[in-house]
């Protein structure tokens, strides 16, 4: 089993930095506050237009033409339309399955958010709040969403697998990222009591989720668990015979390497990738098939300024607005880190790039120089990402 795919980020789960226009006229930084700051009519119109235009049949054709064989689709906890004021998006996922099956792609459904937040970041749906794991009713709700997804798609030819929960904030990540400082909560009272998710809780949740998914999903489809940014703590997990086709997902970004001290040079990145990403994946591949479910070419060196671990103007980071490096240098850096990273992921069971596209205007909007590397389409067009990398 070796997968080569791309994430359809910001389609069914919104991230403001990937498409700022959707948030115009509001101060909302995340999906939770957006419908609470717009009228129902405006919110519904915006979301419906966005979903119908952002990803279409043509995109599946393009992805297949790049030689990819799968897409990872982040979906929200309100996918079934049972959580006001949000609008469900199960019809969009139905369409995606039809397109995938028509064009020979497979889908990894990734449950990307949880009510009350599982990581406190914008991609968890609500900034600065991480209380989902403390609320048994919401934990059960999340399990019921997984079960309904398995019931609906478990036997579809286009299903590769279901990912139980994206990026739960375990203690290391919660503290290293200083989540509430990086993603300040809007409502202090609501954020009170937010905390990292314990190891014991997440293990227990994964075991329950496995059983609920397998009720409807055949054994040959994959159950994917996220490492919570602690790849090597899972060696003793799910060793029993009953657990079949469990895949461990790790997300490895160069901006995180920078956060823990990696020097901002091409050589340092390549060496870090080999010494850390590649070695760790090779080690863990003995226990689970390991995929790198999110990664990209983005790094501070190619931006020409220190992004402080991938922070942008949205985080209040001031960036120099002058192109610091030439296109030629940029291409060289990206090609080097692309090769090193795809080599590393191939020590495991493959990867999904983050992300397929970006609607951030990196030319006309101040502060976004270098961020186009999050957009796989641009990376392919500019020759940064060699499609022949297996």
Q: Is residue 252 within a helix (H) or strand (E), and if so which, with residue range?
A: none
Is residue 310 in a domain? yes
146 shares a domain with 134: yes
45 shares a domain with 119: yes
Predicted confidence (pLDDT) per residue in 337-354, tens digit: 999 999 999 999 999 999
Is residue 268 in a domain? yes
What's the rounded mean pLDDT across residues 72-80? 98
Query: How confident is the model at residue 58, as a pLDDT?
Result: 98
Is residue 291 in a domain? no
Is residue 289 in a domain? no
Contact 361, 290 (CB under 8 A): no
Q: Distance between CA 91 and CA 94 in Å, rounded? A: 5
Query: How confident is the model at residue 309, as a pLDDT?
Result: 77
Rounded to whole angstroms, what are the CA distances from 86 to 49, 148, 189, 339?
Answer: 15, 18, 22, 40
Query: Angle at CA 118, nearest 5°, toward 34 and 86?
Result: 30
Query: How confident is the model at residue 199, as a pLDDT?
Result: 97
223 shares a domain with 301: no
**Token digits for 160?**
């590769």
311 shares a domain with 220: no
**Half-sphere exposure (Cβ direction) of 176: Cα atoms closer than 13 Å:** 17
What's the rounded mean pLDDT across residues 49-68? 98
What's the rounded mean pLDDT across residues 11-28? 96
pLDDT of 389 over the 70 cut: no
Is residue 260 in a domain? yes
151 shares a domain with 61: yes
**Residue range(s) defining the domain that contains residue 78:** 3-250
Is residue 269 in a domain? yes
312 shares a domain with 272: yes
- Average of per-residue pLDDT values in the chain: 95
Residue with tokens 């904030």: 169
pLDDT of 390 over the 50 cut: no
Q: Distance between CA 88 and CA 50 in Å, rounded? A: 13
240 shares a domain with 272: no
What's the rounded mean pLDDT across residues 31-45? 97
169 shares a domain with 22: yes
Cβ-based neighbour number of residue 96 at 10 Å: 25
**Residue 160 Ramachandran class (φ > 0 left, ψ -120 to 50 alpha, else beta):** alpha
Share of the chain above pLDDT 90, in %: 88
Which range among 161-165, 275-279, 310-314, 369-373 shows the weakest confidence by mean pLDDT? Answer: 310-314
210 shares a domain with 260: no
Query: How confident is the model at residue 323, as a pLDDT?
Result: 65
What's the rounded mean pLDDT across residues 367-385? 93
205 shares a domain with 115: yes
Q: Distance between CA 6 and CA 60 in Å, rounded? A: 11
Q: Distance between CA 67 and CA 267 in Å, rounded? A: 29
Q: Distance between CA 353 and CA 37 in Å, rounded? A: 32
Name the 3-class secondary structure at 371: helix
Global pTM value: 0.96
User: Pairing mode, if any, of strands 222-226 and 3-7?
Assistant: unpaired
190 shares a domain with 269: no
14 — pLDDT class (breaks 50, 70, 90): very high
Predicted confidence (pLDDT) per residue in 165-214, tens digit: 999 999 999 998 899 999 999 999 999 999 999 999 999 999 999 999 99
Q: Distance between CA 108 and CA 239 in Å, rounded? A: 23
**Residue 282 Ramachandran class (φ > 0 left, ψ -120 to 50 alpha, else beta):** alpha
111 shares a domain with 18: yes
Q: Could you please report the per-residue DSSP string of 18-48?
A: G-GGGGTTS---STTTHHHHS-HHHHHHHHH
Q: Distance between CA 149 and CA 169 in Å, rounded? A: 23
Is residue 220 in a domain? yes
**Token digits for 215?**
């009720």
Contact 220, 157 (CB under 8 A): no
pLDDT of 92 over the 50 cut: yes
Is residue 23 in a domain? yes
Q: Distance between CA 50 and CA 46 in Å, rounded? A: 6
**pLDDT: which is higher, 312 or 123:** 123
H helical segments located in the chain: 34-37, 40-54, 57-65, 90-103, 136-153, 171-176, 179-182, 188-191, 199-214, 254-259, 266-272, 279-284, 300-303, 327-345, 376-381
CATH code at position 74: 3.20.20.80
Q: Distance between CA 320 and CA 317 in Å, rounded? A: 10
369 — pLDDT class (breaks 50, 70, 90): confident
Comparing CA positions, the residue from 288, 199, 192, 194 lying closest to residue 243 is: 288
Predicted confidence (pLDDT) per residue in 260-277, tens digit: 899 999 999 999 999 999
Number of domains in the chain: 2
pLDDT of 319 over the 90 cut: no
Which range among 179-193, 320-334, 366-380 shows the weakest confidence by mean pLDDT? Answer: 320-334
């Amino acid at each position: 089993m070796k997968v080569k795919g791309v994430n359809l980020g910001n389609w069914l789960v919104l991230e403001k930095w990937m498409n700022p226009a959707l948030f115009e006229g509001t101060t909302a930084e995340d999906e939770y506050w957006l419908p609470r700051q717009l009228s129902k009519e405006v919110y519904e119109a915006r979301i419906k237009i966005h979903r119908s235009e952002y990803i279409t049949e043509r995109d599946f054709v393009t992805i297949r033409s790049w030689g990819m064989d799968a897409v990872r689709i982040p979906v929200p906890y309100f996918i079934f339309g049972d959580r006001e004021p949000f609008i469900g998006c199960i019809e969009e996922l139905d369409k995606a399955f039809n397109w995938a099956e028509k064009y020979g792609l497979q889908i990894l459904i990734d449950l990307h958010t949880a009510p009350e937040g599982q990581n406190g970041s914008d991609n968890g749906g609500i900034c600065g709040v991480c209380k989902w794991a403390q609320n048994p009713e919401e934990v059960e709700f999340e399990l019921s969403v997984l079960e309904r997804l398995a019931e609906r798609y478990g036997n579809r030819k286009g299903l590769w697998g279901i990912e139980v929960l994206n990026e739960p904030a375990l203690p290391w990540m919660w503290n290293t990222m200083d989540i509430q400082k990086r993603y300040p909560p809007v409502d202090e009272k609501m954020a009170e009591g937010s905390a990292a998710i314990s190891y014991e809780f997440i293990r227990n949740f994964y075991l329950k989720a496995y059983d609920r998914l397998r009720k409807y999903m055949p054994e040959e489809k994959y159950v994917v668990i996220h490492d919570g940014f602690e790849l090597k703590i899972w060696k003793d997990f799910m060793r029993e015979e009953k657990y079949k086709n469990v895949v461990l997902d790790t997300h490895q970004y160069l901006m995180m390497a920078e956060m823990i001290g990696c020097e901002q040079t091409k050589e340092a990145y390549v060496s870090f990738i080999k010494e850390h990403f590649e070695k760790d994946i090779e080690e863990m591949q003995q226990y689970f098939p390991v995929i790198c479910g999110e990664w990209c070419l983005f790094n501070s060196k190619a931006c020409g300024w220190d992004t402080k671990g991938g922070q942008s103007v949205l985080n209040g980071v001031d960036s120099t607005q002058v192109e610091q490096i030439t296109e030629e240098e940029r291409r060289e850096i990206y090609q080097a880190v692309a090769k090193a990273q795809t080599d590393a992921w191939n020590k495991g069971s493959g990867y999904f790039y983050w992300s397929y596209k970006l609607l951030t205007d990196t030319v006309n909007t101040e502060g976004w120089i270098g961020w186009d590397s999050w957009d796989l389409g641009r990376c392919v067009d500019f020759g940064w990402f060699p499609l022949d990398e297996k």
